[in-house]
Amino acid sequence: MTNDLLTRAVEDVVPRDLAEKKLKAKKPIRIYWGIDPTGSKLHLGHSVPLRKFKAFADAGHEVIFLIGSFTAMVGDPSGRDAMRKPLTKKQVEENFKSYKKQAAKILDFKKVKVEYNHKWLEKLKFDELINLARNFTVQQMVQRNMFKQRLKDDHDISLVEFLYPIMVGYDSVMLDVDCEMGGNDQLFNMLCGRKLQKAFKKREKFVLTTKLLLANDGRKMSKTYENCIYLDDEPDDMFGKVMSINDDLMETYFECCTDVPLDEVKKILKGNPRDAKARLASEIVTLYHGDKKAAKASEAFDRVFKGKEAPDNIPEAKCKNGSLLVDVLVKNGIVSSKSEARRVIEQGGMKMNDKPVTSADAVAEEGICKVGKRKFLRINYAN
C-alpha cells in the first residue's frame, strides 16, 4: 500500500526519502490538498488528486481538504498566460457548494476534515506578510515558466501573483502537515510551503505531485481550454468523450482515473485499441454513474457509431425562425460557449440535417443538428 501511495498516478515526490520514512513509521501522517473554487464544475483532471487523496484517507491517514476561500479571490497564476479575473467571496461560496457535491462522488467526507484558508489569511497583518515575503526573491518568482513567457510576450504580471505562492505556502504553516499534495503544475507553490514550514520550525513536509491529465489538444485538461470530461457529464456524453481520446493517452487515463490493476492494464492495452478504450470508458462511467448506466452508455455508443443510428433520446429545443444556430446550441447546453461552437464549425464537426455547417452565422433550421461525433439536438420552430 505504501508503495502504491507513492507511485500510482504520481509524478514526483520531494524529497522521496522523507516520504518513505514517514510512511514506513506506520503512524498516520497529516496530509492536505488545497483547491481554489474558481469554477462550478470538476473534471477528470481534478479526479486524479481527489482519488489519491481518497487512497490516503482509506489507508487511515489524517486528510485535510483545504478550500481556498481567500486565495480563490486572488487567483493562482500557475499555467496562466494572462492574469486571472478575481472572484467575489459570494462566487467562491457558490462554486464550493457545487465542488463538494461533485467531489463526494470520490471522497467520503466523513473521513475528511474541511478547512478554509480565509480563517488565517484575512487576518494577516502587513508586517507579517512582509516577514513572509523575506523568504523569497524576485528572481525565484520570475523563473517560473508562465512568468518567463509573459515577460517575453510583454504581458502584465501583477504583484498579487507574486504573493499567491506565499499565501498558499502559509497554508502549510497553519496546518502544520507532513505532506501536501497537488497537481504537477502546483510544485512551485507547494515547495514554497515546505520552505515556510522550515522557517517557522514546523514539522518537515514532503510534497507529492499527481500526474496531469492531458486532452487531445496536448494541453492539460482545463475549463479554460474547454477540453474537459466533467464528473457530472451525462453517462452517454462521458462515455463518448472517453472513446474520443487519443490512443496514446489510454495508459495514463487507466492509471489515473480507474482502479484497474496496472498489470491488467498492460494486458488490456496489448489487445484491440477500440476494445481497450471501451473498457476504459466503461470503468470511468461506472465510477461516477454505476455499472447499469455504464452498460447502457456502451450500448448507445455502439448503436450510434457502429450502426450509424441517431440516439434514442435526442434533446429537443424550440427557437424562433431566423435564430442563429450557434445561439440555440449554447442556450441548450450542446456547446459551452460561442467560441467552442465556432471551433467545431472550423474543424468541420457540425452538421444540420446531414449538411455541413460552414459559418458561425448560420441560421437554425428545423431538424437534427449534430455537433462533433456524439451530440445531437432536434430543433423545431416556436409557433
CATH assignment of the domain containing 331: 3.10.290.10
Q: How confident is the model at residue 333 (pLDDT cuts 50, 70, 90)?
A: confident
Q: Are residues 13 and 156 in the same domain?
A: yes
CATH assignment of the domain containing 288: 1.10.240.10
- Amino acid 49: pLDDT: 93
- Amino acid 78: pLDDT: 47
Q: What is the rounded average pLDDT of the residues 340-347? A: 90
Q: Look at 14-18, 119-123, 181-185 and tell me which has the smallest mean pLDDT.
A: 181-185
CA distance between the termini of the chain: 63
Distance in angstroms (rounded) separating the CA atoms of residues 320 and 303: 32
The number of folded domains in the chain is 3
In a domain, 225, yes or no: no
Handedness of CA 223, 229, 232, 234 (dihedral sign): positive
Q: Are residues 27 and 56 in the same domain?
A: yes
User: What b-and-e string marks burial along 283-319, b requiring 16 or more CB atoms within 10 Å of the CB?
Assistant: bbbbbbbeeebbebbbebbeebeeeeeeeeeeeebeb
pLDDT greater than 70 at residue 226: yes
pLDDT greater than 60 at residue 137: yes
Q: Look at 196-200, 302-306, 340-344 and tell me which has the smallest mean pLDDT.
A: 302-306
What interhelical angle do 44-58 and 250-257 show, nearest 10?
40
178 contacts: CB under 8 Å, gap ≥ 6 = 22, 29, 30, 31, 203, 205, 206
Q: 163: which 3 cell numbers?
A: 504573493
Q: Which residue has the higher pLDDT, 364 or 149?
A: 364
In a domain, 311, yes or no: no
Q: Are residues 131 and 249 in the same domain?
A: no
- Burial class (CB within 10 angstroms; exposed 0-12, middle 13-18, buried 19+) of 5: buried
Tens-place pLDDT, residues 78-96: 444 444 566 777 888 888 8
Compute the residue count for the chain.
383
pLDDT greater than 50 at residue 192: yes
Q: For the whole model, what pTM was predicted?
A: 0.77
Most confident by average pLDDT, 74-88, 148-162, 207-221, 309-323: 207-221
Handedness of CA 244, 247, 249, 250 (dihedral sign): positive
Q: How confident is the model at residue 244 (pLDDT cuts 50, 70, 90)?
A: confident
pLDDT greater than 70 at residue 159: yes
Distance in angstroms (rounded) separating the CA atoms of residues 184 and 191: 11
In the predicted model, what is the mean pLDDT of the chain?
Answer: 89
CATH assignment of the domain containing 36: 3.40.50.620
Q: Are residues 88 and 200 in the same domain?
A: yes
Residue ending a domain, among 252, 284, 305, is: 305
Q: Are residues 288 and 320 in the same domain?
A: no
pLDDT greater than 80 at residue 191: yes
Look at strands 355-356 and 316-319 and give their pairing: unpaired
Residue ending a domain, among 210, 225, 253, is: 210
- Amino acid 36: pLDDT: 85
Q: Which residue has the higher pLDDT, 98 or 176?
A: 176
Q: Say if residues 221 and 214 touch (Cβ distance below 8 Å).
A: yes
Q: What is the DSSP letter of 222?
A: -
* 260: containing domain: 233-305
- Amino acid 79: pLDDT: 45
- Amino acid 202: pLDDT: 95
Q: Look at 91-95, 101-105, 208-212, 260-264 and tell me which has the smallest mean pLDDT.
A: 91-95
- Amino acid 383: pLDDT: 66
The letter for the amino acid at 260 is V
